[in-house]
């Protein structure tokens, strides 16, 4: 079960992300979901078409981050740290959410990215 109050406290916080279990993302409304294994072209399309200038979206969810090897997680580290991708910024109050299968999946998040994480389950 997710801690929605803890998640909401991250609104407006720069360089943080929230980690929840895969199945809990259905409890979050007003969201955009991308698979962690999306390539840069797919991510750029998502940022251009669905995220830029969409203040009504509350959550940018990157699903199954624990299935991605650490070196490929670097682009998500950059998105969390800089709150942008190829110059397209995330809305100020949008919360970045990473999903993992279970607590064991936390071990598969890169150390750099994990430093920005708030665990909400």
Q: Torsions phi, psi of 97, nearest 5?
A: -125, 130
Instruction: Report the alpha-carbon distance of residue 6 to residue 10 in Å, rounded.
Output: 7
pLDDT digits (tens, 9 = 90+) for 19-64: 999 999 999 999 999 999 999 999 999 999 988 766 688 999 999 9
Q: Compute the distance between CA of residue 72 and CA of residue 93 in angstroms, rounded to an integer.
A: 26
Structural contact between residues 77 and 110, judged by C-beta atoms closer than 8 angstroms? yes
Is the dihedral angle over the CA atoms 115, 116, 120, 121 positive or is it negative? negative
User: 57 or 7: whose pLDDT is higher?
Assistant: 7
Segment 9-22, tens digit of pLDDT = 999 999 999 999 99
Confidence of residue 113 (pLDDT cuts 50, 70, 90): very high
Distances (CA, A) of 90 to 23, 52, 104, 119: 24, 7, 29, 21
- Which residues fall within 8 angstroms of residue 43, CB to CB, at 6 or more apart? 34, 75, 85
Question: Partners of 18 in the beta sheet?
Answer: 97, 118
Give Rg (Cα) of the chain.
13
Does CATH place domain 4-119 in 3.40.50.300? yes
């Amino acid at each position: 079960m997710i801690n929605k109050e803890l998640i909401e406290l991250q609104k407006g916080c720069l360089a943080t992300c929230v980690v929840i279990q895969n199945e809990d993302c259905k409890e979050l409304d007003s969201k955009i979901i991308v698979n962690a294994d999306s390539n840069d072209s797919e991510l750029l399309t998502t940022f251009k078409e669905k995220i830029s200038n969409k203040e009504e979206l509350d959550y940018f969810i990157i699903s199954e981050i624990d299935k991605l090897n650490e070196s490929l997680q670097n682009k998500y580290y950059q998105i969390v740290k800089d709150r942008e991708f190829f110059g397209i910024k995330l809305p100020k109050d949008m919360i970045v959410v990473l999903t993992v299968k279970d607590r064991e999946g936390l071990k598969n998040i890169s150390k750099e990215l994990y430093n920005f994480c708030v665990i909400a389950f």
